[in-house]
Chain A
Amino acid sequence: MKLIIAMIQPHKLPDVKKELFDAEVYKMTITNVLGCGQQKGYEETYRGVIHEVNLLKKIRLEIAVNEDFVKPTVEAIKNGAYTGNIGDGKIFILDLPGCIRIRTGEEGEKAIG
């Protein structure tokens, strides 16, 4: 079991969701987060004064998957979030030692699916 965490551009979320849906990955958790990486920031203007914003709005996407779904999930996120510009984001893959479905008490791979 793996936990896939991805940081993506907020405006690419509809594309990522569509790619995941096409890859038959229907489960995800999404959080609105602030962060910065290579993109460093952008400029806002307020009453003629330029104002540097360096923590950018990002979407954090978390999906727990079984081994055979790792590759399709990662591919779907890559396809959906890609623009070729700095700031497209990153995908982290973590080992997931356990998973329990609260309603049924199922554990492990069955609980994820």
Chain B
Amino acid sequence: MDNPAINLDTVWVLFTAFLVFFMQAGFAMVETGFTRAKNSVNILMKNLIDFCVGSVLFFLIGFGLMFGKDAGGFIGTSNFVVSIIGQSDTSNFAFWIFQTVFAATAATIVSGAVSERIKFKNYLIYSVFISGLIYPIVGHWIWGGGWLADMGMIDFAGSTVVHSVGGWAGLAGAIMLGPRLGKYNRDGSSNAITGHNIPLAALGVFILWFGWYGFNPGSTLSASSPAISTIAVTTTLAASTGALAAMFFTWIRYKKPDASMTLNGALAGLVGITAGCAVVSPYSAMIIGSLCGIIVCISVELFDKKFKIDDPVGAVSVHGVCGLFGTLFVGLFAQSKYASLAGFEGVNGLFFGGGGKLLLAQFTGSISVFVWTFGTMLLLFFLIKKTIGLRVSRETELKGLDIDEHGMEAYSGFQIFLND
């Protein structure tokens, strides 16, 4: 290994992979903070174990399905565990760990949407399917040389591949589970079930934002790419404008700047810029961030009040909906001046003279991924529901999943109010 460029790239890929791994901690804190104290142990266990199940499955099967030899544009068929082991070029291992932490990010998004009511063992079953099958196939379509890559779809760091997949899987879970007890009144009006620890949720958002500096700039897979700095800029601006837009939106609409929605707004901006972080200008990043900050507020309200789908932490809105819009925005805002830095030649969106071709590819991609992910996950959760039962008993839900599912409390020695 005397090639300094390869060595530098390997260090860059590993370093950013470790940052993305830390996003697991961010998800764990956001989801714990936004739910009730009596379910904290359960949420933390889900966040820990989906990574552990996911990394093993992705090593054995997922990586091969995603990056193996293409079959019909749909699925990879080589590079399963055996073909990685024994290779002398260890940069492949760096690529594997980078892809693994991405797969685990998609998987862990779901734990928030299904929280406070799903049986723990069902979450284990779900983890196996998303990391071993559902996610790698989407990944192959877009990143593994599959049919959407051939169409010219650009999802640079994974608004669709990672975030929408997690969001739509969460939507399927939330629909099959039904709302938490006490979420909706008899007349259909919605109750707020407030999170128990906003400081933890805020810490989680900061950790996620920090991890995103691995997620987006790291997706160049190259430390010598001139795009890594512009990506860091677009990522930062989209997150900031997302939070600002959500803050002003809630300030005007609900008369107070809502902390929990502002935190979600930062994440919405980050999810929205993920697809286009390498191909849009910093100005466009601010527009994308602001739009996503507003979209997430509207989406949370629509799912909660209109569709009556109970998503305790807003995972479907942040990751599914903003992932969808972020992917579409690439078709509008892409500029070849920036895209060429990341190796995309002659790519322009609708607003920059490129016509509708890219937008059409983005649209086809996001809709296909929605149909595939939502359809398969709905089927999986439906089968679990009909066989072993998806949801904990009413008594367990009221007592809290910590005591009944795990036999312990998160805050032993503190008096926790158990009255909702």
Which A residues contact B (CB, under 8 angstroms)?
A: 10-14, 30, 32, 43-46, 57, 59
Stretch from B64-72, B83-91, B145-153, B412-420 that touches the partner: B412-420
Residues of B within 8 A of A10 (CB): 398-399, 418-419
Say yes or no: B407 contacts A57, CB within 8 Å. Answer: no
If the complex has contacts A32-B419, A57-B418, are A14 and B182 also in contact, measured as CB distance less than 8 A? Answer: yes
Residue total for B at the interface (Cβ-Cβ under 8 A): 16
Q: Out of B398, B407, B415, B417, name the residue touching A11 (CB < 8 Å).
A: B398
Residue contact A43 to B399, C-beta cutoff 8 Å: no
Q: Which residue of A lies closest to B181 (CB)?
A: A14
Closest partner residue, chain B, to A58 (CB atom):
B418
Contact B409 A44 (CB under 8 A): yes
For the complex, what is the distance from the CA of A57 to the CA of B356, rounded to whole Å? Answer: 62
Provide the bound-state CA to CA distance between A57 and B399, in Å.
10
Shortest CB distance A47–B (Å)? 9
Q: Is B417 a contact of A32 with CB atoms below 8 Å?
A: yes
B419 and A13 contact, CB distance less than 8 A: yes
| Contact yes or no, A14 B398, CB < 8 A | yes
Nearest residue, chain B, Cβ from A46: B408
Known: A30-B419, A32-B415. A11 touches B395 (CB 8 A): yes
Residues of B within 8 A of A14 (CB): 181-182, 398, 420
Instruction: Give Cα A58 to B395, complex, Å.
Output: 15
The distance in angstroms between the C-alpha atoms of A43 and B420, with both chains bound, is 23
Tell me whether A59 and B419 are in contact in the complex, defined as CB-CB below 8 angstroms, given that A11-B399, A14-B182 are known contacts. Answer: yes
Residues in A whose Cβ lies below 8 Å from that of B398: 10-12, 14
Once bound together, how far apart are the Cα atoms of A45 and B181, in whole Å?
A: 27
The 10 closest A-B pairs by CB, nearest first: A11-B398, A10-B418, A45-B407, A11-B399, A13-B419, A44-B408, A32-B417, A46-B408, A32-B415, A44-B407
CB < 8 Å neighbour of B407 from A32, A43, A59: A43
- Say whether, besides A43-B407, A44-B407, A44-B408, A11 and B420 are in contact (CB < 8 Å): no
The CA-CA distance from A43 to B407 in the complex, in Å, is: 8
Q: How far is the CB of B183 from chain A (nearest CB, A)?
A: 12
Contacts of B408 in A (CB 8 A): 44-46
Decide if B407 touches A13 in the complex (CB within 8 Å). Answer: no
CB nearest neighbor in A for B402 = A44
B418 touches A13 (CB 8 A): yes
